[in-house]
Amino acid sequence: MRTLVTGCAGFIGANYVYYLLSTYPDEEIIGFDSLTYAGNLETLGNATQNPRFRFIKGDITDGDAVDALFAAERFDIVINFAAESHVDRSISDAGVFLRTNILGTQTLMDAARRYKVTRYHQVSTDEVYGDLPLNRPDLLFTEETPIHTSSPYSASKASADLLVQAYHRTYGMPATISRCSNNYGPYQFPEKLIPLMIANALADKPLPVYGEGLNVRDWLYVEDHCVAVDLIIRKGGIGEVYNIGGHNEMKNIDIVKMILKHLGKPESLITYVTDRKGHDLRYAIDPSKISSQLGWLPRTKFSDGIVKTIDWYLDNRQWWERIISGEYVEYYKKMYG
Ligand code: NAD
Ligand code: TYD
């Protein structure tokens, strides 16, 4: 079995590569990534020592490079994690989001058709469903919830999903889609809520909480996400969409306080800043389809996962301290002043 993992040098893609290498001792994995600001080859350090993994640098929007890759490698499975993934960046500049997230998906699927892959899996997001009100805890996103996007990021991911469904219907493309909630865990780029707050707390810098910090996200430990995606690819129905998440809803402000407490830092570091434009209030997944049909449930409780994550950032300071120099310094100044 030969699997292509795009976006393999990013947060979830890299965790997925490690998951496959440790779970399937006979399978070969090719990682493809253009190494944007969010991609980091150091993250794949241990994987590159493994003869069953190879990294190829390239852009999913580059039709010639993608064709050459598929012609040379003859994949059975393609999993597309590659994307521009940060909502705030999409609000400042949508163009690259549309190119990578929509046209990149089309380029990959065209190659997947030409070279007859047996499964194309699109990693999507619960953000395609828009948001839920804060005062209706009974409402959850199901696979039937209408697409209703808020940010250029979520609009680009939703467009890609529609294209995948169109390729399935029109060409019989053997595709599946997963829509997961917010991931957290090792190797997440420190522009996202949890690693950003850990890094700032460790540096005794202000922790910038948008609005009043009351927005709710449904947190998924990255390893649980990897297990779910793999299950969908191996056992899921072709043409199907699966939501991945699991009743781990938390208010942003409560997470920030948990991080400060675990690190022994004062709450006076919390700084309320201008809210994100179009800020989604609440995300919450109903995982009953994947749990009843494929037997998946998240194993990691938030209270355990957050401690594992904070400890990982404490133990791997070099990894993220190198990242928050360079381009990130300019982004941070522009974003937070
Ligand atoms: P990430 O930003 O950490 O990593 C994205 C990777 O894609 C990077 O390594 C980057 O270099 C690569 N990439 C970007 N543009 C590329 C291009 N044109 N060609 C090739 N590679 C390119 O993102 P992530 O958090 O690992 O997210 C992975 C996927 O999961 C994305 O599709 C994202 O939309 C989705 N998702 C993420 C979350 C989350 O909480 N992180 C939640 C729901 C869905
Ligand atoms: P983020 O990690 O960017 O993920 P997403 O926007 O995909 O949910 O943000 C998670 C939540 O944290 C979201 O409600 C925005 C909020 N947030 C802050 O309050 N401050 C910050 O500096 C960041 C990056 C996010």
Please give the Cα distance from 130 to 173 (Å, whole number).
27
Instruction: Give catalytic status of residue 126 as yes or no.
Output: yes
User: Is 317 among the domain residues?
Assistant: no
**Displacement of CA 88 from its chain's centroid (Å):** 15
Give me the catalytic one of 127, 191, 218, 286.
127
Is the minimum distance from the CB of 201 to ligand 1 under 6 angstroms?
A: no
Number of domains in the chain: 1
At 331 the pLDDT is 84
Q: Which structural domain, as residue segments, surrounds residue 78?
A: 2-188+220-247+278-299
Q: Residue 212 falls within a domain, yes or no?
A: no
CATH assignment at residue 242: 3.40.50.720
Model pLDDT, residue 145: 98
pLDDT at 314: 98
Question: What whole-number percentage of the chain has pLDDT above 70?
Answer: 100
* Residue 205 resides in a domain: no
User: With contact defined as beta carbons under 8 Å apart, do 184 and 217 qualify?
Assistant: no
Domain-located, residue 311: no
User: Active site includes 304?
Assistant: no
CB-ligand 1 contact for 175 (6 Å cutoff): no
Model confidence pLDDT, tens digit, residues 20-51: 999 999 999 999 999 999 999 999 999 999 99
Closest approach atom of ligand 2 to CA 335? 22
The number of the ligand nearest the C-alpha atom of 103 reads: 1
174 in a domain, yes or no? yes
With 90 as the cut, is the pLDDT of residue 328 above it?
A: no
> Does some domain include residue 253?
no
Rounded (5°) CA angle 63-69-72: 135
For position 337, what pLDDT does the model report? 75
Read off the pLDDT of each residue in 241-265 and give the average, rounded to a whole number: 97
pTM listed for this prediction: 0.98
Looking at the domain assignment, is residue 255 inside a domain?
A: no
Digit-coded pLDDT (tens) for 166-203: 999 999 999 999 999 999 999 999 999 999 999 999 99
Task: Determine the pLDDT at residue 44.
Answer: 96
Residue whose CA is closest, atom 4 of ligand 2? 192
> What is residue 318's predicted lDDT score, i.e. its pLDDT?
94
- Region of 167 please: left (phi>0), alpha (psi -120 to 50) or beta: alpha
pLDDT confidence bin for 285, thresholds 50/70/90 = very high
Q: Taking 80 as the threshold, does the pLDDT of residue 234 lie above it?
A: yes
- What pairs with residue 80 in β-bridges? 6, 122
Binned at pLDDT 50, 70 and 90, residue 325 comes out as: confident
Q: Is the pLDDT of residue 5 over 90?
A: yes
**104 within domain boundaries:** yes
Kindly report the protein residue whose alpha carbon is nearest to atom 9 of ligand 2. Answer: 193
Ligand 1 atom showing the smallest separation from residue 184 Cα: 40
pLDDT of residue 231: 98
Instruction: Write down the mean pLDDT value for the chain.
Output: 97
Instruction: Say how many Å lie between the CA of residue 159 and the centre of ligand 1.
Output: 16
Residue of 88, 89, 252 best suited for mutating to test ligand 2, as the one with most atoms within 8 Å of CB: 252
Indicate whether residue 158 lines ligand 1 (CB < 6 A). no
Out of 88, 192, 248, mutate this one to test ligand 2's pocket (max ligand atoms within 8 Å of CB): namely 192
User: Is 127 assigned a catalytic role?
Assistant: yes
What is the best residue among 6, 8, 11, 319 to mutate for testing ligand 1's pocket, by most ligand atoms within 8 Å of CB?
Answer: 11
High-pLDDT (> 90) share of the chain, %: 95
Residue pair 253/187 in contact by the 8 Å Cβ criterion: no
